[in-house]
Amino acid sequence: VSYKMDPAELVKVCEISNPQNKPGRLTIIVRMGAEKLRVKLPHLIRAVRQAGLVVTWAEVKALFDVHEEE
Binding residues: 31
Which residue ranges are tagged as binding site for phosphoenolpyruvate? 31
Specify the length of the chain in residues.
Answer: 70
CA dihedral 24, 25, 31, 37 (to 10 degrees): -60
